Amino acid sequence: MSESANNPGAQRPGGRTARNREAVLDAVFAELGETGYAGLTMENVARRAGVHVTTVYRRWRTVEGLVVDLLTRLGTTELPFPDAGSLADDLRDFARSIVTLYVENATIRALIETVVAAATKNPRASDALHAFFADRNRRAAVIVEHAVGRGELPSTTDGVELIAALAAPIYYRMLVSRRPIDIPLADRAANATYIAALSGAFDGGA
């Protein structure tokens, strides 16, 4: 008997399986863009993906499983961070880019909103969300590292917390206080974070 035959956990990453996964996740993405979380049903996704419903149920179990997988796929994409040569400019540009992303890309916004909602009832969604933003903010902290390198900030500055403080008001308004997000909001968050950072408000100690 062969090695792989003894291994029931061995999967089939190639061909049809991978193709179906892409088709299904693309369908989830499209559904989110058109109808949002409300219209995201196993049946709609399956039909749009040209795949049987049982396939979706077997591989992803729930709609939460679908959006978690989609977020994971999105997390692997690279994105550039501003590096204009001054912290104030970089923070403002970054905050604006977040607002612009969610204003112009309703699908991405729906995805984030959906995963945030799913995280309330599903630990896996919660973990995926955590991992996504931990990675994203860690990478965005390069903005802070550049500022530290230029001597604008103390080397003990906690970059991740600074980035979180920058982004927080945008997500707060988008998800909690539920008003439209706009550029003035981004600029205010950037300015406030910048001023606080200069005073050492994000010093991580040590």
Partner DNA sequence: AGACTAACGCTAGAATTCTTGCATTAATAG
Partner DNA sequence: CTATTAATGCAAGAATTCTAGCGTTAGTCT
Query: Interface residues with a copy of itself (CB under 8 A)?
Result: 36-38, 113-114, 116-122, 126-127, 129-130, 133-134, 137, 161, 164-165, 167-169, 171-173, 175-179, 188-189, 191-193, 195-197, 199, 201-202
CB of 129 to a copy of itself, least distance (A): 5
Q: How far apart are CA 33 and CA 54, in angstroms?
A: 23
Nearest to 56 by CA among 96, 105, 20: 20
Ranges within 7-36 binding DNA (CB under 7 A): 8, 10-17, 20-21
Q: In angstroms, what is the minimal distance from the CB of 28 to DNA?
A: 14
Report what 13 binds from a copy of itself, DNA, none; CB cut-off 5-8 Å by kind: DNA
How far apart CA 115 and CA 173 sit, in angstroms, is: 17
Which tokens belong to 33? 């863009």
Angle, alpha carbons 29-68-133 (nearest 5°): 100
Choose between 47 and 136: whose C-beta lies nearer to DNA: 47
107, interface contact from a copy of itself, DNA, none, CB < 5-8 Å by kind = none
Q: How far is the CB of 115 from a copy of itself (least distance, A)?
A: 9
User: Which residue number, 143 or 164, has a Cβ lying nearer to a copy of itself?
Assistant: 164
- For the stretch 202-206, contacts whose Cβ atoms lie closer than 8 Å and that sit 24 or more positions apart, written own/partner, are 202/157, 202/158, 202/159, 202/161, 202/162, 202/165, 203/154, 203/156, 203/157, 203/158, 204/156, 204/157, 204/158, 204/161, 205/156, 206/156
Residues whose CB falls within 8 Å of the CB of residue 1, separated by 6 or more in sequence, listed in order = none
In whole angstroms, the minimum distance from the beta carbon of 81 to a copy of itself comes to 18
- Residue from the set 58, 80, 176, 177 that interacts with DNA by CB under 7 A: 58
Cβ–Cβ under 8 Å, residues 30 and 106? no
Q: Which is nearer to DNA, 50 or 200 (CB)?
A: 50
CB of 73 to a copy of itself, least distance (A): 19
State which residue, 148 or 165, has the beta carbon closest to a copy of itself: 165
